Amino acid sequence: MKLICFALAVCLPTMVLAASAVPVASERALREECSAFSQAGMRDCLAEKAEASKKTLRRAEEKMAGTLARWDEDEKYVNQARAKLSASNRKFARYRESQCDFAASLTGGAAGNA
């Protein structure tokens, strides 16, 4: 359920989408794209989109870490940027979890299929 919620509620932050040139897919667009399937098929479709989103985010984070490693700046500032990136990634993960929990609470009695 949380995997599906991830795809619907968050997808990727705008910065990652811009950095990786991935088009922004709204929650509605994801539902419409996956609605051609049965309920189980829709769940699988959304799970695939969530997995692709996670991979894109991971690649963007790795790319940023690599860019920081090659940054021609004082080590002090490189280390500060690395620490801020790490903190940002942790905070985003907490935000995503909270947002998914909230979105899941709106499904009411849909028994995990909404």
Within its chain, how far is the Cα of 13 from the centroid? 7
Residue 18 belongs to what domain range? 2-105
**Residue 88: CA count within 13 A, CB half-sphere:** 13
User: Does any domain span residue 110?
Assistant: no
28: tokens are 């509605």
For the chain, how many structural domains are there in total?
1
DSSP string, 78-94: HHHHHHHHHHHHHHHHH
User: Does any domain span residue 51?
Assistant: yes
User: Does any domain span residue 112?
Assistant: no
Q: Name the stretches of the chain with pLDDT < 70.
A: 1-24, 109-114
Q: Look at residue 50 in the predicted model and tell me its pLDDT.
A: 87
Q: Look at residue 41 in the predicted model and tell me its pLDDT.
A: 85
